[in-house]
């Protein structure tokens, strides 16, 4: 069916282009645009993400070297560095933000039955923030400290499939706890977060909405024990208690009882204190849920290593936001293709294969499935040793 189509074009076939055009129309992305449309910009930037381009000039040289194939890639205009730079600076970043959210809406049902390490039917989210350091003289709009610039990437990650369901980009001065105000609590869902999000007044909004949270307690937290539940100390659990907050401001913000679990990690020998408003799940399951929070840390590490969100192609705020949202779109698109083609390979392996085969004409499902079947032959024990 895809015989004769380039791998990049086959990959882009999974994009909902009708939705993309709707986003362009909503934010007037085609206003006064004679050539190099928003779709051309998106495809060029997605190509840069998937092939690990380092700069606008890198993108220009690479695509011009394959100028006879641009039409088959889906790019209808010539690619020039200045044109792409202007598009990144001028085209509204909300076009790509909204389109990324539509891709996320496609990906989440595909991963609804994925396991994430804990046998739980409810939706589980991990909330965290990562800081991307910038140069203050180049990005003066992203002031963080006196001589430093930065932006923050606040992410709510669905642990089934590691799909980001909420992303907010802010300057470095915004404290991560403020992001709780922008989240719409989902009844019955679990929100896993670290101590940086410990604000009882904000967490009470989640409690009233019927959502559950699991977080870490601070060392100066003042509580009064109401009841102690039996625990199995062989699992590392020390205590499982029902408590109420006794601090003046904390009690005003959260009057309902909380559950406090003290756990000694057998691997690190550290004692951890967890707070949650869920009194039904076993105490050890709560500790395992918090352990799964590290998946969002791995997500940040993964996208920083394999997508271009640390070295930016433009210096304006609009260009930076556009690049991040297109990078997220590329990540989610690969996740969609992985599920639709029923591939067992990891996203890392798929990206590495795609980065070298964008201009090939082999069907995408055959390319990825065949590569995964090919095993590297083990080194023979009789191979000569080059250096004795």
Model confidence at 118: pLDDT above 90: no
**Using only C-alpha atoms, what is the Rg of the chain?**
24
Percentage of the chain beyond pLDDT 70 is: 94
Give the model's pLDDT for residue 385: 38
In this structure, what DSSP letter does residue 86 have?
A: H
Model confidence at 47: pLDDT above 80: yes
pLDDT in tens, 218-238: 888 899 999 999 998 888 999
Report CA-CA distances (Å) from 169 to 49, 175, 176, 320, 322: 19, 12, 11, 10, 11
In the predicted model, what is the mean pLDDT of residues 163-170?
91
Model confidence at 383: pLDDT above 70: no
| Residue 59 to residue 123: CA distance in whole angstroms | 39
Give the model's pLDDT for residue 2: 53
pLDDT in tens, 72-95: 999 998 899 999 999 999 999 999
Give the model's pLDDT for residue 119: 82
Report CA-CA distances (Å) from 171 to 85, 193, 320: 22, 21, 11
Burial of 366 (0-12, 13-18, 19+ CB in 10 A): exposed
Report CA-CA distances (Å) from 330 to 53, 107, 193, 352: 14, 12, 26, 13
CA angle, 253 then 256 then 257, to 5°:
125
Q: Which of 184-193, 298-307, 310-319, 352-361 comes out lowest in average pLDDT?
A: 298-307
Q: Where are the domains of the chain?
A: 7-96+318-372, 195-292
Between residues 168 and 375, the one the model is more confident about: 168
Give the model's pLDDT for residue 27: 95
| Residue 330 to residue 258: CA distance in whole angstroms | 40
The token pair at 271 is 């004692």
Give the model's pLDDT for residue 121: 86
Give the model's pLDDT for residue 376: 42
Instruction: Name the β-bridge partners of 170.
Output: 152
Model confidence at 294: pLDDT above 70: yes
pTM: 0.87
155 pLDDT tier (thresholds 50, 70, 90): very high
Report CA-CA distances (Å) from 143 to 90, 135, 150, 173: 21, 9, 7, 7
Model confidence at 260: pLDDT above 70: yes
| Residue 168 to residue 156: CA distance in whole angstroms | 9
Give the model's pLDDT for residue 305: 77
372 pLDDT tier (thresholds 50, 70, 90): low
Terminal-to-terminal C-alpha distance of the chain: 53
Percentage of the chain beyond pLDDT 90 is: 60
Is 3.30.1370 the CATH classification of the domain at 195-292? yes
Model confidence at 386: pLDDT above 50: no
H and E: helices and strands count for the chain:
14, 10
Model confidence at 307: pLDDT above 80: no
Q: Which of 15-19, 160-164, 321-325 comes out lowest in average pLDDT?
A: 160-164
Give the model's pLDDT for residue 381: 45
Model confidence at 11: pLDDT above 60: yes
The token pair at 192 is 């896993």
In the predicted model, what is the mean pLDDT of residues 329-350?
90
pLDDT in tens, 122-145: 899 999 999 988 888 889 998 888
Q: Which of 18-22, 65-69, 188-192, 212-216 comes out lowest in average pLDDT?
A: 65-69
């Amino acid at each position: 069916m895809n015989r004769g189509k380039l791998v990049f074009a086959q990959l882009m076939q999974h994009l909902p282009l009708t939705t993309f055009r709707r986003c362009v129309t909503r934010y007037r992305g085609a206003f006064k645009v004679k050539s190099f449309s928003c779709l051309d910009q998106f495809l060029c930037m997605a190509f840069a993400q998937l092939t690990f381009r380092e700069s606008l000039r890198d993108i220009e040289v690479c695509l011009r070297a394959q100028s006879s194939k641009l039409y088959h890639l889906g790019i209808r205009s010539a690619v020039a560095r200045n044109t792409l730079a202007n598009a990144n600076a001028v085209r509204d970043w909300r076009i790509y933000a909204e389109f990324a959210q539509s891709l996320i809406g496609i990906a989440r049902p595909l991963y609804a039955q994925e396991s994430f390490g804990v046998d739980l039917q409810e939706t589980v989210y991990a909330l965290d923030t990562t800081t991307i350091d910038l140069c203050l003289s180049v990005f003066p709009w992203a002031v963080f400290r006196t001589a430093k610039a930065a932006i923050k990437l606040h992410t709510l990650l669905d642990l089934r499939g590691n799909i980001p369901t909420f992303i907010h980009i802010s300057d470095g001065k915004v404290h991560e706890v403020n992001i709780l105000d922008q989240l719409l609590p989902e009844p019955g869902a679990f929100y896993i977060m670290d101590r940086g999000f410990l604000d009882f007044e904000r967490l009470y909004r989640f409690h009233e909405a019927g959502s559950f949270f699991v977080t870490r307690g601070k060392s100066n937290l003042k509580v009064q024990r109401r009841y102690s539940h039996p625990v199995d100390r062989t699992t590392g659990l020390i205590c499982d208690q029902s408590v109420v907050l006794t601090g003046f401001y904390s009690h005003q913000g959260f009057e309902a009882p909380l559950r406090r679990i003290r756990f000694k990690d057998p691997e690190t020998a550290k004692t951890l204190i967890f707070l949650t408003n869920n009194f039904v799940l076993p105490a050890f399951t709560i500790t395992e849920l918090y352990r799964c929070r590290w998946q969002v840390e791995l997500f940040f590490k993964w996208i920083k290593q394999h997508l271009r969100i640390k070295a930016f192609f433009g210096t304006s705020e609009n260009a930076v936001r556009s690049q991040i949202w297109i990078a997220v779109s590329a990540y989610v698109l690969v996740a969609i293709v992985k599920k639709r083609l029923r591939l067992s390979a990891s996203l890392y392996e798929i990206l590495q294969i795609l980065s070298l085969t964008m201009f090939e004409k082999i069907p995408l499902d055959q390319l990825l499935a065949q590569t995964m079947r090919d095993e590297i032959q083990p080194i023979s024990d009789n191979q000569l040793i080059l250096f004795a």
